[in-house]
Amino acid sequence: MKKNSFTYDELISCGNGELFGPGNAKLPLPPMLMFDRITEINEDNGTFNKGSLKAELDIKEDLWFFDCHFKEDPVMPGCLGLDAMWQLVGFYLGWLGNPGKGRALGVSTVKFTGEVLQNVRNVRYEIDMKKVMAPGGTTVGLANGLVFADDKKIYSAENLKVGLFKQ
């Protein structure tokens, strides 16, 4: 029986290569780890019945990117929210038991309709897996994702693509 949620310490364990084993999917370590916990991960639900994930990031005023993006106008870079969604797709592929090191491969459409400012308390990511393929031994995941700031949808991404590569 696979775990259906992961704590911050378990995510750090993944970043250190301890969760899925040597040479397999890892999350980045802080400060590039863009969520504090995975609250839900399932193999056969979601919009496409191919699996889904939900994760959260607690916003603190002293997060590293607020100091530099932008001076006296702090906002979380949109690319970090996009990276969080790629991180989650890669984590999902590793969680399924697929071997290899994860790499983002692309996204077809990204829309930003809001932003994460210092007054936001919680960012939630929702990923709906569309497809998992294994051409030639490389595992590729395709998913759609949403980002919410205090329950308001602020980003959407279609066809997030992540691969796990055996090296």
DSSP string, 63-112: -GGGGTSSTTS----HHHHHHHHHHHHHHHHHHTT--SEEEEEE-SEEEE
Burial class, 105, CB count within 10 angstroms (exposed 0-12 / middle 13-18 / buried 19+): middle
Q: Please confirm, yes or no, whether 69 is among the known catalytic residues.
A: yes
Q: Which of 12, 43, 69, 153 is catalytic?
A: 69
Which two structure tokens, joined as six digits, stand for 162? Answer: 């992540």
Q: How far apart are CA 106 and CA 23, in angstroms?
A: 22
Length of the chain measured in residues: 167
Residue 157 exposure: Cα atoms within 13 Å on the Cβ side: 27
Q: How far apart are CA 87 and CA 84, in angstroms?
A: 5
CA-nearest of 1, 160, 127, 154 to 55 is 127
Catalytic site residues?
69
